[in-house]
Each structure stands twice: as C-alpha cells, then as structure tokens.
Amino acid sequence: MKRFGIRLAPRKITAHNDVMELTYPGPVGIGVDIVEIKRVRSIRFLRRFAEYFLTPREIGFFERASDPVEFIASRFAAKEATIKAFPGFLKPHDFEIVKEGKKPVVHFLAPERADGYCALASISHSTDYAVGYAIITEK
C-alpha cells in the first residue's frame, strides 16, 4: 500500500474468525505554520535570526538563495510545522529541511530523538505569506 508517496508495510496483521486485518502506520502528528513575509523583511540582523534555527548546511542554502527573506520565512514556517507535528521534544537544530529536486525533505540529525519516525514537509509562499506543513509518520 502507498500513502503519502511512500510504500508502507503492515505494522500488524491479525486474524479473527477467518478474517485477516492489516493495520498500516498512519500519521502520528500534523503541524502547520504561517509566516508574514513583511515581518521577516523587517528583521534587522537576518543572518543572526537564521542561525537561531537553521543548521550550518541550511545557512549555506540561505546565503545562496535568490531571495533570502523568502527563504527564511518559508524554512521557519516548515521547521515550526515539523516541531508542532512531532510527538516528542524536538529542537530546530535536531533536523534540517533541504530541497531534493523540487521537494523539501526533512533529515533528522539527532537519531535518538527521531528513531522510528519519518517527516514529510511541504512549503508554499505568496508575496505576503509563507506556509509550512508537516506530517510525522512511524517508519
């Protein structure tokens, strides 16, 4: 079975009275966050703000971004959404969000925090807002 674009194996198979039931892992958390881009544009020290929640690898992407304000707004929204969706305690430097092709991909850097979980993220923006959406599933 495929869900969210990934192949899922049954977590549990039970049989009762000749009826087989397959239980698939589902979302354990959903998060969303929206950021007003003009508020980010008004930040005086944008790099210092970026260092608060971006990993060194993400800082590199920020420095090469064609629109650094849009990059910061969208990454902040996506990171906040991921933290909100995660079932336990998660800090911004425990994971990074990088683009692979055109899709944002969440990489957990602290395996002890994320063992057994997978995160799916989506980022969108307009001229005024950036939004991040995240779903956490069991592996």
Domains and CATH numbers, the chain: 26-138 (3.90.470.20)
Q: Which of 2, 38, 84, 99 is catalytic?
A: 84
pLDDT at 104: 96
Terminal Cα-to-Cα distance of the chain (whole angstroms): 14
Identify the pLDDT of residue 26: 78
Is 125 part of the annotated catalytic residue set? yes
User: Is residue 84 annotated as a catalytic residue, yes or no?
Assistant: yes
CA atoms within 13 A on the CB side of 31: 22
Q: What was the pLDDT predicted at 1?
A: 46
Whole-number pLDDT of residue 114 = 75
Per-residue pLDDT of the chain (139 residues; tens, 9 = 90+): 444 444 555 555 555 666 666 566 678 999 999 999 999 999 999 999 999 999 999 999 999 999 999 999 999 999 999 999 999 889 999 999 999 999 999 999 977 777 889 999 999 999 999 999 999 998 8
Strand partners, 113: none
User: For every residue of 65-103, which 3-state class applies, written as one string?
Assistant: CCCHHHHHHHHHHHHHHHHHHCCCCCCHHHEEEEEECCE
Say how far apart CA 58 and CA 76 lie, in whole Å.
Answer: 11
12, 91, 125, 139: the catalytic one is 125
- How many degrees, rounded to 5, is the angle at CA 47 between CA 42 and CA 48? 90
